[in-house]
Amino acid sequence: MRRPLSLLIVPVLALLPASVRAQTVERYESGELLYQDDFTDPTHWVVEQQPDGRVSFQEDKLVIQDAGGCTVWFRQELTAPVIITYDATVIDHGGPHDRVSDLNCFWMATDPVAPDGSVPATTATRTGAFAEYDALRLYYVGCGGNSNTTTRFRRYTGTGDKPLLPEFDLKDPGFLLQPNHTYKIMLVAAAGRAQYFRDGVRIFDYADPDPLTRGWFGFRTVHSHIEIKHFRVWQARLVSATGATP
């Protein structure tokens, strides 16, 4: 019998800002498994990439080798409440694209100019350049961005505005990337919250006053070599809501 996948909250209290530590913590577990993809069928995905990069589907993994910017979208629209999980490794073995930086992602993304907000429907208008995504509505995490000096959460409004709140601009080494380590990434969009977990640690928890309740998911990176496995999408179920320790 399949056991529910729980999002274990292991807050790093010594590192997280006080404003984040004081939030109510909502913990979710997996319900029904909605989608399972092990990258055996490239037609399930939409690739937007700048020149001199390559995306390949190798047996049970997605391999991104990138120079100037790349997003790989899952074609299926997702509707909250959802949990998205995958394993990701930033490769650093001295290859031409190997750089420890930018294990990033978009989720609940919609395009305001597209029919029904469909991001895949407007893929021909994008080339993988990062600035092109400013026009979308979405949640974004840049993990180990800016040459592995920052980890940030932003909510894009679809108007070019993507404010960065101080509590979501993390620079402590504990939130940055280690080479050749396989991270277990967990994203949540449920009940007006966007959450980001890495290896069981709750890094970001955003209570959205205007929540994004449907949209598309995408892997995002620039100038890096990343391998991704075990992509899953689950229905999210609320387990508990408690006050975090201040």
Confidence of residue 240 (pLDDT cuts 50, 70, 90): confident
- Ramachandran class of 40: left when φ > 0, alpha when ψ lies in -120 to 50, beta otherwise: alpha
| Tens-digit pLDDT profile for residues 160-200 | 999 999 999 999 999 999 999 999 999 999 999 999 999 99
Residue 4 has pLDDT above 50, yes or no: no
User: What distances in angstroms separate CA 57 from CA 43, 50, 63, 238, one per listed residue?
Assistant: 10, 18, 6, 34
Confidence of residue 24 (pLDDT cuts 50, 70, 90): low
In the chain, % of residues over pLDDT 90: 84
* Among the listed residues 68, 75, 139, the one whose alpha carbon sits nearest the alpha carbon of residue 102: 68
pTM for the predicted model, two decimal places: 0.89
Question: How high is the pLDDT of residue 25?
Answer: 72
Spell out the domains of the chain, with CATH numbers in brackets. 18-243 (2.60.120.200)
| Tens-digit pLDDT profile for residues 47-79 | 999 999 999 999 899 999 999 999 999 999 999
